[in-house]
Amino acid sequence: MASGSATGNPRNKVALKPGHSLMDWIRLGNSGKDLTGVGGAFTNVTKAELAEHKSMEDAWLCIRGVVYNVTHYMDFHPGGCDELMRGVGTDATNLFNQVHAWVNYESILKKCVVGRLGSSGEDDAFTIPSSPNKPASSSLRITAVNNKAKLTQMDWFQQLAFITLVFYSKTPNPQVQILLSEPDVLQCKINQEVQILQLEGKVRWPCYASMNLNGKVQIKLIKKKPALWKDYGQIVNKNSEYNSCTSSSSSTNSSFLTDLDDSNYWPTEVIKIAKVTHDTCLIKLKYNNNNVYNYIPPGNHIFVKQSVKGDEVIRPYTPVPIFPVTTLPPGDWKNTDEGVNLLVKTYPLGHMSSWLCSRRPGSTVFISNPKGTFRTSVLNNATEIYLFAAGSGLTPMLSVLVWVLQSTSDKVVKLLFFNKTKKDIIWERELEDLASENSRFTVEHILSEPNPEWTGKRGHVTLDLIQTFLPCYTVDIPRTNFICICGPRPFTLLIEKWLKEDLGYTGDNYYSFLGQ
């Protein structure tokens, strides 16, 4: 919500009153004031009860099954009271989803939680019915254990049309693979732990997965037949010795039940391809096994392996998110749950890049499991994050940027994007639009060969230029900024050298994607 309207048009921002910034809101939440209006007691709320709280002075709304009291947030909302009032008294999930990719509402409204929507048996209420083996619990917690050790905890909830499984990995940006081996058999691999679930009913693919800052993994499955299940099903096998697991589709599972760090490559199909700049294209890939989902942590990459002109060529590429304002040919570019989006810049002597950008829909591309050493935990203590990118070095920055805007509310991000000419800037308009929609993000373009009409910054990366952006630092004040660097090798090495030798940075203060 700090990035725009919580429930409507993200561009409809208003000037906030003095004392109503995001930091002021955080301070109010930490003041001890009861922002829930119900004494902080978590309760079940029916739709009828939700509808009673629909005034400026008594405003409740629901997002994704959770009811929030937004009465005190009205004057803090960047979209203004009128925009927020559009969702008050209702389940505002659909309205909110217009901008949900850029908003960490759970963090912003965590002190406003009233409870969960639906306890009266309404058809579309979020429910976890009791069963003979698993009585309903107010905490909705199911703890899965085996004879050896306590393993990942799991929750679940459902509506008529879908069921959501929630796993608590307690690992920021966990490695996640999901396979629907049968319409009612789901395999979930979180880090190196596999669970096989025999679901109570059949579900459709794709699944929809999301991860938060604390390692919570949510997997939403669409039911083939709308109905309230008595239970989610049962765990068939859940332990570290997963290679011995068997099921009705063991031939399918054999390629799935392997370490994430193995050398296997997945066959994918080119679904769409589009030009982004004169020498850069966006390629959407979908796994040939239509029932597979691989989560790629922010800043991590995959390898593409192909036979090009008789030689085996392997190159790393960092998948990118798709901005909601991106102008692309018709088609569902934004749904990344079904595959991977690659932003590929072609080079005259680049065998792989030229090969990829010449593909047509239906072509096969082999990609690896996620790789990389970047972990978002390096940003935990930072409040200011600087992204230094040159050319296609933008790709890991995009996933880091989106993660920061989604998963945190106390961090600001500045992107310094270096290119030769204006036509080389990847997603210039999209980055500017994102910055205009989100007060925590700014972008600065620097061109080394601009035309006379260019009014922005000019030149190559230099120590003086870097110093104009980075905050002053003294040994008496701990650093609150973190720097990420990605670009051509000389660009990256120069910035690293200046950070260490001239500005007193250590490996705890910056990360270079050069060595991933």
The 10 Å Cβ neighbour count of residue 459 is: 13
How is 349-373 classified by DSSP, letter by letter?
T-HHHHHHHT--TT-EEEEE--B--
User: Within 13 Å of residue 42, how many CA atoms lie on the same side as its CB?
Assistant: 9
What is the DSSP secondary structure assignment for residue 15, as one 8-state letter? P
Domain 265-368 class in CATH: mainly beta
Question: Going by C-beta distance under 8 Å and a sequence separation of 6 or more, which residues neighbour residue 483?
Answer: 385, 386, 387, 388, 470, 495, 499, 505, 509, 510, 511
How is 368-436 classified by DSSP, letter by letter?
E--B----GGGGTT-SEEEEEEEGGGHHHHHHHHHHHHHH-SS-EEEEEEEESSGGG-TTHHHHHHHHH
Structure tokens at 229: 């299940």
pTM for the whole thing? 0.67
**Looking at this protein, which amino acid is placed at residue 374?**
F
What are the pLDDT tens digits along the chain (516 aa)? 434 444 444 445 667 788 888 778 888 887 878 899 888 777 788 888 999 999 999 999 998 778 999 999 998 888 788 888 999 999 888 777 665 545 667 778 888 989 888 743 343 444 444 443 443 332 333 333 333 333 457 888 888 889 999 888 877 778 888 888 889 999 888 877 888 899 999 999 888 887 776 778 888 899 999 999 998 998 885 443 434 333 333 333 444 444 334 557 888 999 889 899 999 999 999 888 767 788 888 999 999 998 877 888 999 999 998 765 455 554 554 544 467 999 999 988 888 999 999 999 999 999 998 888 898 889 988 889 999 999 999 999 999 998 888 777 788 999 999 999 999 999 998 899 888 888 899 999 999 999 999 999 999 999 999 988 887 666 556 678 999 999 999 999 999 999 999 888 888 889 999 755
d(CA 361, CA 355): 13
d(CA 291, CA 255): 13
Domain 141-241 class in CATH: mainly beta
CB 36 within 8 A of CB 462: no
- Locus of tokens 């309903």: 136
- Look at strands 510-512 and 481-486 and give their pairing: parallel
- Locus of tokens 């309205």: 95
Domain 22-117 class in CATH: alpha beta
Structure tokens at 466: 């870097």
Closest CA to 115 of 195, 60, 170: 60
376-515 placed in CATH 3.40.50.300 = no
**Looking at this protein, which amino acid is placed at residue 102?**
W
CB 192 within 8 A of CB 260: yes
Domain ranges in the chain are: 22-117, 141-241, 265-368, 376-515
Closest CA to 219 of 145, 264, 169: 169
